Amino acid sequence: MTASVDGQRPEDTPLLEVGDLVVHHGQLKALDQVSFQVFPGEVYAIIGANGAGKSTLLRTIAGLHHPTSGTVLFDGQNVTGLRPEHRARQGIVMVPEGRRLFESLSVEENLKVGATYARKGPWTIERVYETFSWMRDRRGQRAGQLSGGEQQTVAIGRALVANPRVLLLDELSLGLAPVVVQRIYTMLPQILQTGLTVLLVEQDVSQALRVASHIHCLLEGRTTLQGTPAEVTAEEVEEAYFGLASAVGATPHARLDADGQSGKGSEPPWRG
């Protein structure tokens, strides 16, 4: 979709760097030594089955979970110990799983909430209305009365008005019809044009492969595969996702098949 879809890194310095992250929920090790770098302008996708640790990862980057060990660097600075609102001020903003709008508040009131820790930047409530014109017409309506897709869009708008540098998107497609998911993902180029970097979580692998410049698969908290969509084969993704065989991954980048074919073109079973 964007300049980086062919796997070329737009710049050499990572905007976000996660190093050896270990996160526990009580006794459960939800993330185990997860490391990766996200470069400016990328759409970096975390994929994985239920319980793989995807939300834990995004929430830890946003400052909502404290890691047992490991680091989160943002623009070269160690933000591992920063509170969520301080990270937001630096430009780490999340659209949480399940959208989490204030349902009894209006659309506009929800957008105002998003502006609470806003940085200066191109996104304002007005800009959100220009981008999603239906929202202006319905700005006085209670968020709880909107459809799921509309609510997801308001949740994105609420994050945008904070003027993120990296936007963390946790399962935009959750509970939405495929056509609605498509519509939501078609907004991404407009969002990226304003200079944003996106780190997204998706269970819908085909969707992730369509939009991402880089994918990273988690299985039970561990990295099983990393690479560009062009580098990974459908078989590798399937194995990494479901853990069907000994992990292909844990290599920095997935390679082509032995016969030199890339996975592009061969369809994994979940592709419709």
Query: In this complex, which beta carbon is closest to Mg ion, that of residue 107 or of residue 181?
Result: 181
Q: Using the structure block, give the residue that is written with the tokens 């609420």.
A: 158
55 binds ligand ATP (CB under 6 A): yes
Q: Using the Cα atoms of residue 18, residue 172, residue 48 and residue 8 in order, give the sign of their dihedral.
A: negative
Least Å distance, CB 109 to Mg ion, is 26
Q: How far apart are CA 15 and CA 146, in angstroms?
A: 34
55 binds Mg ion (CB under 5 A): yes
Query: In this complex, which beta carbon is closest to ligand ATP, that of residue 161 or of residue 218?
Result: 218
User: Which of Mg ion, ligand ATP, none sits in contact with 158, Cβ below 5 to 8 A by type?
Assistant: none
243 binds ligand ATP (CB under 6 A): no
3-state secondary structure at position 31: strand
Q: Using the Cα atoms of residue 210, residue 50, residue 151 and residue 106 in order, give the sign of their dihedral.
A: negative
* Site stretch for ligand ATP (CB under 6 A), options 51-59, 79-87, 123-131, 141-149: 51-59
Amino acid at 166: V
Which residue is closest to Mg ion by CB?
55
Q: Using the structure block, give the residue that is written with the tokens 């996660």.
A: 18
Query: In this complex, which beta carbon is closest to ligand ATP, that of residue 165 or of residue 216?
Result: 216
CB atoms within 10 A of CB 177: 12
Q: Using the structure block, give the residue that is written with the tokens 């945008």.
A: 160
Considering only 52, 72, 180, 192, the residue that binds ligand ATP (CB under 6 A) is 52
Q: How far apart are CA 5 and CA 26, in angstroms?
A: 38
Considering only 3, 8, 13, 28, the residue that binds ligand ATP (CB under 6 A) is 28
Which residues lie near ligand ATP (CB under 6 A)? 25-26, 28, 30, 48, 50-56, 97, 203
